[in-house]
Structure 1
Amino acid sequence: MRKNLKIYQRLAKLPFGQQIFTFIVCWVAPYFASIKPQIHELKPGLAKVRIKKRRRVTNHINTVHAIAMCNMAELAAGMMTDVSVPVKSRWIPVGMTVAYLKKATTDLTATALGEAIDWTTEGDKNVPVEVRDTAGNLVFRAEITMNVRLI
């Protein structure tokens, strides 16, 4: 089992454990702190990341900025990839394709889905990520290409 998954599972049982885990992730990768995310669920093949709509992540029309959604999608895809790949492997994002489907006017949840991906082989893996608003509307879709190398 991957180290980050063990840490998440241990902390998630504690009060504020998900917040503590997310703080650690943002300490290691500081750029993600700019959106103030919360890693809400994490297991092989699935990650959910939430952000609150607040002034810092909005644009001039008071919707969640496109790049904030890219940021949360990359975080969800990266965390899900990290806990899904074999222990003796490395991964890095190498590309992202996005579609802005609807104005994002509320808090958001990004869900990275990797259950259908064969994580046991090397190469590029396309990770789908959906971002939904509080009403469940799909507002953004991304496909993040992760390059996986077995070591």
Structure 2
Amino acid sequence: MSSQSNLLKIWSKCQSLPKGKWLFSKAVCFKAPYFASIKPVVNELKLGYCSATVKNRRAIHNHIGTIHAIAQCNIAELCAGLMVDATVPAKTHRWIPKSMTVNYLAKVDSDMRAVAEIDFPRQWLDKEDLVVPVKVYNSRDELVFTADITMYITAKKR
């Protein structure tokens, strides 16, 4: 029996399909509808790593014509959540977001790409605060936003 997470299994299956990344991203937004507001596309998902992009479009702009702060938070939370869900051993542990600290480093006036990454492999503990760093880049590959998202990891009761 495979120890690979269900999310990674679905990701792998979608990769063999035409427009698989788009299809996977739509499925994620169906499961967690709020993320659909930014229309993300997950580009890569593996143990300890997730990246996704969001197109620059008027629907996610603020009053000055740049990407809204909350849209930046959304892509960060999406990447962190997908990465943790794909990485935490689902048979023995569970997780939930606990807090988020963000830094807006520059106006986002282009498409954006978010990357969530942790050191892996690692030992999973009970009642652990896992801080997931997320970096968001503009289309010129300039760092424009960072987030530290704390995920609360607990062992499942047996």
Aligning the two structures, in what range does the TM-score lie when normalised by the shorter sequence?
Answer: over 0.9
> By how many angstroms is 1:10 displaced?
1.2
- Structure 1 runs not aligned, ≥5 long: none
- Find the counterpart in structure 2 of residue 62 from structure 1: 65
Q: Which amino acid aligns with 2:112?
A: L
Aligned Cα root-mean-square deviation (Å)? 1.1
Provide runs of 4+ in structure 1 moved above 4 Å: none
Structure 1 81/3 Cα, relative in aligned 2: closer, same or farther at 3 Å? same
> By how many angstroms is 1:115 displaced?
2.2
SS for the counterpart of 1:63 is coil
- Structure 2 runs not aligned, ≥5 long: none
- Find the counterpart in structure 2 of residue 80 from structure 1: 83
Q: Which amino acid aligns with 1:16?
A: K
- Find the counterpart in structure 1 of residue 111 from structure 2: 107
Cα distance in structure 2, aligned partners of 1:63 and 1:119: 40
User: Number of residues paired by the alignment?
Assistant: 151
Cα distance in structure 1, aligned partners of 2:53 and 2:134: 13
Query: Given the two structures, how large is their TM-score scaled by the length of structure 1?
Result: 0.96
Contact 2:51–2:113 (CA<8 Å) still a contact in 1? yes
Q: Spell out the pairing of 1:89-108 with structure 2 (5 A cutoff).
A: 89-108=93-112
Identity %: 46
- Answer with 1 or 2: which has the greater Rg: 2
Query: Given the two structures, how large is their TM-score scaled by the length of structure 2?
Result: 0.92
SS for the counterpart of 1:136 is coil
Residue 121 of structure 1, aligned match among 122, 125, 137: 125
> By how many angstroms is 1:121 displaced?
1.6
